[in-house]
Structure 1
């Protein structure tokens, strides 16, 4: 081969090496030609291919289809110029490989294809899975204590309802308690019960159930906010109640107590 044919063949093998589609014989041929001082590797294509591979092809979630890769290979092949008549003069100054590539007629299209691939891959990474338009996740609102009490009253077949009576200095308070053994659920409705300071003391409910033992069962600690009106308090019993005979409200230290001394008994409701 003459010098031009050698250079053209080297550029063809160089493009194939960058794209990774050389066979064993072509690799040996490339190694032989690359040792020739006339054959100089141009780094522009290799850097572009390396940038594409490191940024996108290494991403497990984003892959390029065979069709796109094939199109890229076709466009890269366009960097190789068709064979031209060789100049007879030995002192002809040949342009550098990168100048030859930029002068190739398909260079603009190949670069455009490369950037198009970069933009497509970037959009696949940035967008990720999208929810269909118009589909929203509705937040399920937790029913209020009053709504829950009304639901219990309407569905419980074994509902127990008793009236609270205030004791001593709490004589002006009133209220009711509803309870279901089957559902193990109940609520207090309290009116005119003085607001408490949670940092100083808290109200605590006790449930008297003779089927368990002589000690009343803790029904939960609660607070009454300031202002007039009725407060709905859910009963929070840690133990199963099967036969409540009375509901007692006491005033205790913050956080409540395990066993009440009943120093301040606020109200009492007896089951009918």
Structure 2
């Protein structure tokens, strides 16, 4: 075969390779021609095929309609198989691969056609009318959650808080369930704090664990009016709480409290 025939045959085989249509014999022929410096793959078609594959790669196994896939294969092949003129110059000047990609007369049309088919295919596999809405997370306020615990909890511990020192004017109650590992504090007349200066921190005393109290979370009081409901955020399992203690600590809380300012305590 002369040069134009070799190049034409390689482009035909290369198109089949991209589409996955080559048999073993054709694949061997393509590999031999690919080593010929006169034969170079069209990078634009590689990129377009990769983009198409990525678009329709679905973990749930969504496939293109058979008719649409057949049209896509025929359309791509039409652009790849070039019709050579009968009159070919004796000397053929090969352009660099990047220049062929950018300046080839059929390259823009090939990419445009593939992405046009891609858009049509998307209408088949992405039908909003058949989409299933995902689960919705409903945010429940501490007030509502505490009401549910009080109404449904079967092993509730309820004990009042007693303020100490400068906080004797406060009052409150703690409600806790070992079974649910859930609890809430109901605090009244506890002074408003500045979160950038100090924060309140809860400690849970459980002798079944060890002598160190368990951190129950830091919290703020934004208003002195009414009762503030604070959820208990225990990172560890609580089996038998004997006391709940509120201290005033640095912003973000501490790992071990020096108990320099004990705000209130509730003994169960």
For normalisation by structure 1, the TM-score amounts to 0.57
| Counterparts in 2 of 1:187 and 1:67: CA distance versus 1, 3 Å | same
**Structure 1 residue aligned with 2:116, among 113, 123, 128?**
123
| Counterparts in 2 of 1:124 and 1:245: CA distance versus 1, 3 Å | same
Q: Deviations over 1:169-200 (max 9, x none)?
A: 32332222111112222111212211112232
Q: Aligned Cα RMSD in Å?
A: 4.5
**Structure 1 residue aligned with 2:45, among 22, 35, 53?**
53
Residue equivalent to 2:164:
167
Q: Deviations over 1:134-165 (max 9, x none)?
A: 44545524433223323333332211112223
Residue equivalent to 1:246:
243
Structure with larger Rg: 1
Residue equivalent to 1:209:
206
| Counterparts in 2 of 1:206 and 1:115: CA distance versus 1, 3 Å | closer
Q: Does 1:255 align with 2:267?
A: no
Residue equivalent to 2:128:
133
Residue equivalent to 1:145:
142
Q: Does 1:179 align with 2:144?
A: no
Confirm or deny: 8 A CA contact 1:251 1:264 kept in the other structure: yes
Secondary structure in 2 matching 1:20: helix
| Counterparts in 2 of 1:51 and 1:215: CA distance versus 1, 3 Å | closer
Q: Does 1:68 align with 2:61?
A: no
Confirm or deny: 8 A CA contact 1:15 1:76 kept in the other structure: no
Q: Deviations over 1:118-148 (max 9, x none)?
A: 4331235578866431445455244332233
Residue equivalent to 2:66:
none
1:247 Cα deviation after fit: 1.6
Q: Which runs of 5+ in 1 are unaligned?
A: 1-9, 22-48, 82-93, 97-112
**Structure 2 residue aligned with 1:197, among 191, 194, 199?**
194
For normalisation by structure 2, the TM-score amounts to 0.58
Q: Does 1:20 align with 2:12?
A: yes
| Counterparts in 2 of 1:180 and 1:19: CA distance versus 1, 3 Å | same
- State the aligned residue count: 213
In the alignment, the residues of structure 2 paired with residue 229 and residue 128 of structure 1 have an alpha-carbon distance, to the nearest angstrom, of 60
Residue equivalent to 1:230:
227
Q: Which runs of 5+ in 2 are unaligned?
A: 14-40, 55-68, 90-105
